[in-house]
Amino acid sequence: MKLTKLIFLFILSVVVISCSKDDDNDTSYDYNKDNLTGTYKLISYQSQEVETVNVSGFDVVTTTTSTGDTFDVTAVFASNNTVTLDGSYRVTETVTQGNQSTTDAYIVVLSNETSGYVVNAATTELTIDGSTYKVSNFSSTGFQINLSETTTQPNGDNTVYTEEFVFTKQ
């Protein structure tokens, strides 16, 4: 009799544990304006610009890579479709052409700068001040946005620009 009870308790505990794990996976946090509204901290910034210019039949490629650090930026996404950025961060920029590169650093200061934003939940995009970012890793604790733009001039010169920001919710 005791063996039957132990087996029953074991099976019951396995079922309970299995059900609770399944329930945890059903929790989702949809990307929409209501869930985006709030205060966030900027925790990461990266960008890259690759410019290809044809000079006398030869392509000259210049790559500019920027990486942010020392973040102290707050972003407030308000329900009235405005985002306000306040604070500062440092950017280290490296420009490479051929086998030569130069590195410089500068501070970005945002003093309660306000822009409009539009949430497009259907395409998981966020448009801020005319630039449309793809939103990823959206959760109750933060999100990431990525921008990718390619510009081609009539003479064939082109520029590919990408940037990424990562925010965590306060």
Task: Give pLDDT tens digits for 5-17.
Answer: 545 444 545 455 5
**Cα 169-25-76 angle, rounded to 5 deg:** 15
In angstroms and rounded to an integer, the radius of gyration of the C-alpha atoms of the chain is: 24
Q: What are the structure tokens assigned to 25, written together?
A: 């996976």
- All residues at 6 or more sequence positions from 79 whose CB lies less than 8 Å from its CB, including other chains: 33, 37
Distance CA 164, CA 113 (A): 19
Tell me the per-residue pLDDT of 18-69, one tens digit each, with 9 for 90 and over.
554 444 444 578 999 999 999 999 999 999 999 999 998 899 999 999 999 9
pLDDT (mean) for 128-156: 96
SS3 68: strand
At residue 18, the pLDDT reads 52
At residue 26, the pLDDT reads 44
Dmax over CA atoms of the chain, in Å, equals 92
**Considering only 23-27, 137-141, 158-162, which range has the smallest mean pLDDT?**
23-27
Closest to 139 in 3D by CA, of 169, 114, 113, 164: 169
pTM summary value: 0.81
**Residue 96 pLDDT exceeds 70:** yes
Q: Write down the domain spans for the chain.
A: 33-169
- Pairing state between β 82-97 and 100-120: antiparallel
Residue 86, amino acid: D
Q: What are the structure tokens assigned to 118, written together?
A: 């539009």
